[in-house]
Chain A
Amino acid sequence: MREIRADEIKRAVKKLCMDANYYLPQDVIDALRKGYEREVSPIGKDILKKILKNIEVAGKQKLPLCQDTGVAVFFIDLGQEVKIVGKSLEDAINEGVREGYSEGYLRKSMVADPLFDRTNTKDNTPCIMHIRIVRGNKVRIAFVPKGGGAENMSRVAMLKPADGVKGVKRFVIQTVEEAGPNPCPPLIIGVGIGGDFEEVSLLAKRALLRKIGQHNPNARYAELEDELLVEINRLGIGPQGLGGRITALAVNIEHFPCHIASLPVAVNLQCHAARHKEIEI
């Protein structure tokens, strides 16, 4: 067994929270630049120019790109030969979030009770954690700060198997169309297909971690990604929903086997400030 001190994880998570909120992944920046070149709407082009300028300002001044620094979502692949010592993995991650959000001047957006009091927890905890136990002696931590605007417009549907490809396409496009300007386009669209009710949502969110330009390894799903991207960019929504041809930068599909009676589909929308960062310890 390899021992990893919980404090080491905490420190890594703290830095992860700050870095992910200040700097966008290069593939997202490249996709926005390409979008800027291709956008035909003058207003849309002007918006993309300012979005690129925002990335510059945030990086230079070490400021969060967006004031909504999100719910702190973690995907953790924990090697089965790792023993965490000192405190629990959950505590280590939450303490990292607490310190990162406080010292990094990030907004705290979590309320303790979802329905009645809605009092802010003031440190952006608790985070949301999805843990997989995998082979090996390392811990891989992917962090996605997820803003409210894009998350609110995300949807799940339990389609009938007979709905098929057509039904899946209709649901994805309808979700993007109904979301309109609210999730801050241009978007990255995570699509989950298969699994069950909760697994499909996880697939959709996990799809947001994939690099732009990387396709689903299965040729048929890869083709579906391309077709959906083309159709979505015909909707006319454009940057910030004010009209244009660049509504989405990428459609990433993740799929999983499912029940003979089911065809679950989830669409997790991600705004143009598509923040995520991964580390390995």
Chain B
Amino acid sequence: MMKDEIRLNTPLSDEDVEKLIIGDRVLLNGIVYTARDTAHKRLVEAIKKGKALPFNPQGQIIYYAGPAPAKPGRAVGPIGPTTSCRMDPYAIFLIEAGIKGMIGKGSRSEEVKEAMKRYKAVYFAAIGGAAALLSEYIKGAEIIAYEDLGTEAIYKLAVEDFPVIVAGDVRGGDLYEEGKRQYRI
């Protein structure tokens, strides 16, 4: 039997993330910020120079995604997760800066998992390739930084019941490893 889905509102607190364990299905509500490769590079450069980030990172969630263009009448185009490991070298700095959640797909590095434990952050998996469906849970979108990057700009997304799965928790749990171990023959 699967547990019921857990509804969470952003920003996330330490208590919110501490109760999550790998395999939990979560419905996210509130604000989520997108950032991919180049946006991460710029965010971390800003952190290293002591400059302000385009948004306050405390308790926030970053979604590793770059949408397709929005059709008229839709808040945002199809938007599924991209492969997270490309963001690993940058993610540690953002977790230190206060980020509580990351949404992506695929395994994370040991360093990221360690930072998640130390600073209490979680890693959510969204379904890669289910981009049209995922865009249905996004009710608003605006570009707040790095517009020159096109699809890689930072979007502030207003989400309602956006479905994700806890793939990495604050205790170092990793669903990619656990799931594979469980079903391997």
Nearest CB to that of B184 among chain A residues? A236
Query: Which one of B13-21, B95-103, B127-135 is at the A interface?
Result: B127-135
Is residue A212 within 8 Å, beta carbon to beta carbon, of the partner chain? no
Majority SS at the chain A contact face: loop
Say whether B129 contacts A40, CB under 8 Å. no
Across chains A and B, the number of contacting residue pairs, with CB separation under 8 Å, is 170
Say whether A243 contacts B175, CB under 8 Å. yes
Interface size, B (range): 35 or more
A-facing residues in B144-178 (Cβ within 8 Å): 150-151, 163, 165, 167, 175-176, 178
- Cα distance A271–B175 in the bound complex, in angstroms: 20
Interface size, A (range): 35 or more
Say whether B132 contacts A63, CB under 8 Å. yes
* B179 → chain A closest CB, angstroms: 2
Name the contact of A63 in the complex, choosing from B25, B78, B175 (C-beta under 8 A): B78
- Cα distance A103–B139 in the bound complex, in angstroms: 23
Residues of B within 8 A of A (CB): 1-2, 23, 25, 65-71, 77-80, 82-83, 85, 105-107, 125, 127-136, 150-151, 163, 165, 167, 175-176, 178-185
Pairs across A and B, CB under 8 Å, 26 listed: A41-B183, A42-B2, A43-B165, A46-B2, A54-B130, A54-B134, A63-B68, A63-B71, A63-B78, A66-B78, A66-B132, A67-B65, A67-B66, A67-B131, A105-B69, A107-B67, A120-B150, A122-B150, A182-B106, A236-B181, A237-B180, A242-B176, A243-B182, A243-B183, A244-B183, A245-B183
Residues of A within 8 A of B (CB): 40-44, 46-47, 50-51, 53-54, 57-58, 61-69, 105-109, 120, 122, 147-149, 152, 180-182, 184, 234-238, 240-245, 271-273
